Structure formats: C-alpha cells, structure tokens
Structure 1
Amino acid sequence: MGRILQFSDVHFGCEHKHACAAALDYAHATPNDLVLITGDITQKGFPDEFTAAGEWMRAMPEPRFVIVGNHDVPYWDAVARVLHPWRAFETATGFPAHDGQFLGNDVMVRGVVTARGWQARPNWSKGVIDLDQTRRAAEALRQAPIGALRILACHHPLIEMVGTPMTGDVKRGDEAALIFAEAGVDLIMTGHVHVPFAMPIPLADRCSYAVGCGTLSHR
C-alpha cells in the first residue's frame, strides 16, 4: 500500500510561511511514495505568486503530482480567464491541468479539473466537473494494476461537505462520484474547503472514501 503526503490550498500571496517551511521539512523527513498537491497554489494567480509556488513545490521530494484549483487563474486578466486560464499554472508547475496521471509501484493517481476560469453563475469559485473527463479518468483508474491504490485527485469535494467554512457546490459532482465508485476508485482526494476530513462514500456495490486536506495559508 502506497503512502501519500497531501498538501492543498497553499495560496502563495497569503501563505503561512512557517507552515509552508514545516511542510517541506515534514515531506523530506517522512518516507512517502508521492507528494500530492490538490490546487490553489496561489491567491490571485499573479506571476510572483506562481514563481514562489513553483519554487516551493520544486523543493518538495519527488515524485510529485499537482492539480489546479480555482485560485490558480489570473484573477484580474479577463482574456486569460477565458482563453487560457491554466497556462500560468502549467508553466509554473510543469504539470498539465487536464488528464494528468501518476503510476507508482503501489498507487495510481488521476487528476480532473473542477475549477473554471469563468462560469455562467456569479460565484466562479464553485466547482464544475466534466463527465467526459470523468469517464476518461474512471476508465484509466479501472485499468490500474491489481492491488494498486486507486486515487482520483481534484480540487473541490465532489460531494458537499457539511459544516465547512466554504462550499464546493460542484455541478454534476454526485454523478461523477458514482462513476468513480463504480470504477473501483479507493480515494477521492480534494482541498478547497480548508479543513481536513475523511468520510465514506457508500455508492454502487462498494465504498470509496472522500479525503480532504486543510490549508497552509492565512485564509
């Protein structure tokens, strides 16, 4: 069984510097098979924030896997939000925003994008999941080696959490969670709500688990 270290919502630009330094120390001191960072590496998507986030991530042990969050768009650049919302993220991290995948000896991780550069609703911070991308990810994880831990990584929790400081409100999230459960996904690992959680998702004829990570920021 693989060991995953998850970090999320670092929000460079309002990051907690001591927490970020402690996370690096912990990652290097703790044996692990993968460092997983589940989005919101910046606060406003400014170039200096991406530079700082990239330096912090490259200081983490390898292998690493990073996915995008809703704060990782150029907040004040309307053109970039519409035409290429994830270009700065991909340049800073070296990871694709869409269809990223990691395969280790005992673990397989697939990423999907739940953030958007813009939406047809007032609050663009909420989540949206594309079911075509969901099915591609589910099929890839279904083909994972026998015995491997199958992990779906995205920024927003697919099923709404109760009592958290903020909500994900993911469009088509419940349907996507069922697709992943039917594909045999073991863990759906997310961030966004800034508090840690772990809860069963008793869907289909088996049980997956939703695992959420807290924040390394002052937000």
Structure 2
Amino acid sequence: MFRIAHLSDLHFGDENPAALDAATKWLGREAIDLIVISGDLTRYATLPEFQVASAWLAGLSNPWLVTPGNHDTPYVGLVERAIAPFGRFEKFIGPAATQSWRGEGVAVRGVNTARGLQLRLNWSKGAISQRQARETADWFQADDALRIVVAHHPLIEMIGGPMSARVRGGARAAGRLVDARVDLVLSGHVHAPFVWPYPDGDGKTYAVGAGTLSVRERGVSPSFNLIETDADQIRITALGWSGSTYAPTHSWAIDRRESA
C-alpha cells in the first residue's frame, strides 16, 4: 500500500485556520508516504505569506512535493512578475520548474503550468509548452510502476466545474502523458475534488483534482484527497471539512493499468 495526501490551494493569507490546523494534525497522525501540494500556497505571493508557508512545510514530518500555482507569482509588481515570477517561490519553497520524488515502484514529477504573464488578459489561466510535456514524459523510467504528474491547472477542463483553467497546450500535453503511460495527473485551481479519465489511449490515465484549504470556497467545503494504491487498484477519497472534523465526501476506485 502506498499513500499520498494530495492538498492544494492553501492560499496562506486567506487560509481557513481551523481546516488547515485539523488537516495538519491529520497528516501527523496518518502513515503518509508523500504529501503533494498542487499549487497556490499563497494568496498574493507576498514575503510574509511565503514565510508562513515555508514554516508550515518545515513542520511536516512527511516528504513533500510542491508545484507553483498562479497565486504564487507576485500579485503586485508587474516588473517582478515579468522578470522573476517565481523568485520568491524558489527562495522559500524550492525549485519552481519541476520537483520530483521517487519511491519503490512510484515516481512523481511536478510541472509548472503557472505563468507570470501571458499574451492574454487573464494571466491566472494555465499553460504548458510542448517542451515541458516532452521532458515530463521522458523523465519516467521503465520500472516506474506507478507514474504521477503534478500540475496546478487541470490540463483538461473539469466537467461542470466552478471555474475554467483553459490551459494552453493542455490537450496536447495530456495526450503525451497518456502515451507515456502516466497513471494520475494531480491538480488544483478549481477548488473542487474530481476524478475522471483522459479521453485518449487506454482510458487508464486519470485527472485528479483536489479542493482548497482556504476561505476561497467555490461552493465546496474545504477538503483534500487521500490517494491509496496497491497492486490492482487506486482509491481516491476526498475528505471534507465539516467545521469540526474531516470525513469522506467523495470516493473513487480505479483499476490500475497492466504492466507493459
């Protein structure tokens, strides 16, 4: 059994203190192999917000991997956002372009779909280049039995979601990850949990979205995902905050793809 806690959109500065504190205690009690955070650690990417986020990460007893979100680029300061949009993230958190983690039979690779500026008015939307998609797909090794990619923005839109990601290059990148036999693509951004298969290939590459642990709710209570895998199946459980405890709100069971 391999267990991942998938968190997203903590938005330090707009965090839900009770929900975040309870999630932190839950992480400390559970046997978790890896904590994945799919972006938007901060609200406006200010130095105090990153300092609090960094201290929170340092207090975790589990290995963790974080990929940036659009809120992790400076909200104020056009020059900094244009020249070094992830400078603060890299100073306080770690590499922005990609972070990776390998365990026995499990490989996890982050890819940055956030941008400081884009040639469109809404810079919060995602983008992934062909080079990023190729390098991500090529990173996996033949003996990586479970392959996981982490991005802030869903590469393919959440059906019926509360907002759009509109990732430039997303559909093409998703097809490349299917060809690379990636099992899960973890994301956030829409602040709602979901699981569905990519439409291409063998149908065994799944998009998995996590909710938020902030007060920036979009019709869904604060939540995070527990992902459990064994030789035959992947189980995803969304744990929602009731105001006093976490309890399952949604669950999915996915048959794993057979070895090549």
Give the structure-1-normalised TM-score.
0.95
Match of 2:250 in 1: none
SS of 1:192's equivalent in the other structure is coil
Distance of aligned partners of 1:107 and 1:28 in 2 relative to their CA distance in 1, 3 Å threshold: same
- Give the drift of 1:61: 2.2
**CA–CA distance in structure 2, aligned partners of residues 106 and 21 of structure 1:** 32
Amino acid at match of 2:174: A
Task: Indicate if the aligned counterparts of 1:8 and 1:216 stay in contact, CA closer than 8 A.
Answer: yes
Match of 2:89 in 1: 89
**CA–CA distance in structure 1, aligned partners of residues 32 and 122 of structure 2:** 37
CA-to-aligned-CA distance 1:94-145 (integer Å, 9 cap, x gap): x21113211112321111111100111011110111110110110112x152
Task: Indicate if the aligned counterparts of 2:74 and 2:85 stay in contact, CA closer than 8 A.
Answer: yes
Amino acid at match of 2:163: M
Match of 2:152 in 1: 155
Amino acid at match of 1:7: L
Amino acid at match of 1:82: A
Amino acid at match of 2:109: R
Amino acid at match of 1:150: R
Higher deviation after alignment, 112-121 or 202-211:
202-211
**CA–CA distance in structure 1, aligned partners of residues 202 and 9 of structure 2:** 33
Match of 1:133 in 2: 132
Distance of aligned partners of 1:146 and 1:52 in 2 relative to their CA distance in 1, 3 Å threshold: closer
Aligned length: 216
Distance of aligned partners of 1:22 and 1:138 in 2 relative to their CA distance in 1, 3 Å threshold: same
**CA–CA distance in structure 1, aligned partners of residues 155 and 54 of structure 2:** 27
Amino acid at match of 1:195: A
Match of 1:191 in 2: 188
- The alignment yields a C-alpha RMSD, in angstroms, of 1.2
**CA–CA distance in structure 1, aligned partners of residues 57 and 10 of structure 2:** 10
Task: Indicate if the aligned counterparts of 1:114 and 1:128 stay in contact, CA closer than 8 A.
Answer: yes
Large movers: runs of 4+ above 6 Å: none
Which has the larger helix fraction? 1
Gaps of 5+ in 1: none
Task: Indicate if the aligned counterparts of 1:99 and 1:133 stay in contact, CA closer than 8 A.
Answer: no
Amino acid at match of 2:36: L
Match of 1:14 in 2: 14
**CA–CA distance in structure 2, aligned partners of residues 90 and 5 of structure 1:** 22
Identity across the alignment (%): 46
Gaps of 5+ in 2: 217-260
SS of 2:109's equivalent in the other structure is strand
Amino acid at match of 1:40: D
Matches within 5 A, 1:28-43: 28-43=28-43
Match of 2:221 in 1: none
